[in-house]
Amino acid sequence: MTSRIFDGRGVAKAIREHVRQEVAKLRVQADTTPSLVSIIVGDDPASALYAKTKENSCRAAGINHTLYRLPADANEDKVLEALARFNEDRRVHGIIVQFPLPHHIPERRVRCGISPLKDVDGIHPENLGLLMMGAPRFVPCTPLGIWMLLQQSHIEVQGRHAVILGRSNVVGRPLAALLLQKDCHSNATVTVCHTGTRNIEYYASQADILVAAMGQPKIVQASWVKPRAIVIDVGIHQLADGTLCGDVDFDQVSTVASLVTPVPGGVGPMTVAMLLQNTLDAARLSLTR
């Protein structure tokens, strides 16, 4: 059996086009153009590449994008001062801080420094709390992208067993909360595995929907996967030969799974598309305040 490939790029393209149309309507109907500010501290090449991808995607959708750079030796106060300024600027609807930050800046303080009404990356404790309560405002972009990919691909989630490998605050935990929502597009039974999980292969092999977010290249093998399971690969790694791979051994797993996301071209494009959607939603929200 050879699995089908999730078309993350195709679904993301359709979402981006929908956002572009809605942005154009908002500009005409409310004289408002959604605006996103990306804050980068330091000169990490991966952060710079992601910022460029966001800038190009925003431009194509008609969203204003500003890249605000701070030097690597900027202290916590400088970052919080910048956040406070953009929080107060009514022309700015969304704020995203590029992580990881330099080691001397505490990420928790920065997350809390973003206005929860402009937190389009869904990382503020208030937004994470609303998600846990079943009343989400802004959901972190990667979990939201996974959820939308399942929905747009007509994958039945309700009543199925989803196993998430990884408990990070930006993927594993919020995705678990999202899949547990009591609605027709979620309502799954969710197991979250992590570094303290014994016999993780066993839990993975019980999944109808398996999400790999472990940060280890090709760790998920075919023996981990239930026949005809749906496999979603969140990881992305560059190998010594320059090629990219995910947390899933794609060649092996694609002989067992019914659907599997490629790397690149699976979850990544969905993450960017959800950032655009969240920025549009933040602009709409600003009109109610």
Q: What is the pLDDT of residues 39-63, one digit of tens each?
A: 999 987 777 778 888 999 999 999 9
pLDDT of residue 1: 59
Percent of the chain with pLDDT over 70: 99
Note the pLDDT of residue 192: 98
Q: Torsion angle, CA of 276/115/86/69, rounded to 10 degrees?
A: -70
- Name the residue ranges covered by the structural domains of the chain: 31-114, 141-268
DSSP 3-state of 52: helix
Mean pLDDT within 271-283: 98
CATH match for 141-268 among 3.20.20.70, 3.40.50.720, 3.40.50.11740, 3.40.50.2300: 3.40.50.720
The pair of three-digit structure tokens given for residue 234, joined into one six-digit string: 């969140």
Catalytic residue among 7, 118, 119, 121: 121
Q: Taking residues 54-79, report their average pLDDT.
A: 96
Burial of 199 (0-12, 13-18, 19+ CB in 10 A): exposed
Shared fold status for 31-114 and 141-268: yes
User: Residue 115: is it exposed, middle or buried by C-beta count within 10 angstroms (0-12/13-18/19+)?
Assistant: middle
Region 20-29: mean pLDDT is 98
Exposure string of 139-167, with b = 16+ CB inside 10 Å and e = fewer, is bbbbbbbbbbbbebeebebeebbbbbbbb
**4: pLDDT strictly greater than 90:** no
End-to-end Cα spacing for the chain:
54
Per-residue pLDDT band for 25 (boundaries 50, 70, 90) equals: very high
Residue 3 has pLDDT above 80, yes or no: no
> Do 224 and 199 touch, CB atoms closer than 8 A?
no
Burial class (CB in 10 A: 0-12, 13-18, 19+), 192: middle
**Lowest model confidence (mean pLDDT) among 127-131, 189-193, 211-215, 239-243:** 239-243
Residues in CB range of 112: below 8 A, 6 or more apart: 124, 125
- The whole-number pLDDT of residue 2 equals 64
Is 98 designated active site? yes
CA distance 289 to 34: 15
Residue 21 is predicted with a pLDDT of 98
Q: Is the pLDDT of residue 285 over 80?
A: yes
- Residue with the bigger pLDDT between 49 and 152: it is 152
Residue 49's pLDDT is: 78
**Mean per-residue pLDDT, 158-173:** 97
Among 7, 98, 118, 226, the one annotated catalytic: 98
What is d(CA 145, CA 6) in angstroms, rounded to the nearest whole number?
A: 12
What count of residues does the chain have? 289
- Residue 46: its pLDDT value, please? 76
**Which top CATH class is 31-114?**
alpha beta
Instruction: Judge whether 54 counts as a catalytic residue.
Output: yes
Q: Is 73 exposed, middle or buried (0-12, 13-18, 19+ CB in 10 A)?
A: exposed
Average pLDDT, the chain: 95
* Res. 38: pLDDT tops 90: yes
> Is 121 among the residues known to form the active site?
yes
User: Given 7, 54, 218, 249, which residue is catalytic?
Assistant: 54
73 Cβ contact list (under 8 Å, min separation 6): 102
The burial class, CB within 10 Å (0-12 / 13-18 / 19+), for 287 is exposed
